[in-house]
Amino acid sequence: MTSTGKKVKVSGSKEHVGVIVVDYSTDFIKAGWSGEETPRCCIPAVLVSDKSNRNPFNSSAAKDNHADVKSRPTTSAGQVAGEENNGTVLVGQDALDRLKNMHKAGESTEGLQITYPIKEGRIVEWEAMIVLFRHIFVNELKVGTHPNYPVLVMDSPMSSEEYRIKLCRTLFTEFRMPSLSLGNRGTMALFDSGISTGIVLLTSGDICYAVPVYRGFALTHAIINTKLGGKTVTEVMKAGLKSDVKESTDVSWAPIVEDI
């Protein structure tokens, strides 16, 4: 890893060379600087665009929408001042807020393209994911479209070699960072606890992993997973509450179902 990095001042310690850390999962993407106790941002992994724009993530509008923050003022995540109705791609919380507001107003979302670029902890929509990465670097971490800092990306415990190569090639090509490292999400979670041997249970919206780690190395042959997660629990609760609403005259259940 190169020594090039941002100097981050940690409370109670001296300044040190920082590394950008990005951890993506099915539901959220977290990013921040090494040495800090909490991420700088945690945004929903969702994008919303107009269906009339056939290729919103590979267009100049999408790239301009996340131009360097030094030259292009932004009003909120995924929006550039004065371009809200000009092929804008809404990112993260702004995308969710747009959908919630339309739902509350009884408006149809048929004219919108809703994209979830990550499934089961792996990127499946690469162009959309590039927009999310660009938003994080530009609007959240404010390091520009080509961050001159080392980057550490948390990767799925069972990613194939081909997938990791594609991830590295995409990040280097699009963002030109000086150095990049991929870390096994299970191993990194164990290191965070100050130990190097143990079993880590990773849960997300649609998949769970059990990752055995021995002396800092994940035993890939022994990793197991199940395609059950938070969304499974939500769907069961949602179905149960809807059933109760039909059978009960207590309308107080309705807002709970809507929130879920």
pLDDT band at residue 87 using 50, 70 and 90 as cut-offs: low
| H or E segment to which residue 62 belongs | helix 60-64
Going through the chain in order, the beta strands assigned E by DSSP cover 6-9, 15-18, 20-24, 28-33, 41-44, 47-50, 74-76, 79-80, 90-91, 112-115, 118-119, 122-123, 151-155, 180-184, 198-203, 208-214, 217-218, 224-226
pTM, rounded to two decimals: 0.73
- Per residue in 104-135, pLDDT (tens digit) is 787 777 788 888 899 888 899 999 999 999 99
What is the predicted pLDDT for the residue at 67? 41
pLDDT band at residue 249 using 50, 70 and 90 as cut-offs: very low
Over residues 42-62, the mean pLDDT reads 71
What is the predicted pLDDT for the residue at 55? 64
| H or E segment to which residue 131 belongs | helix 126-135
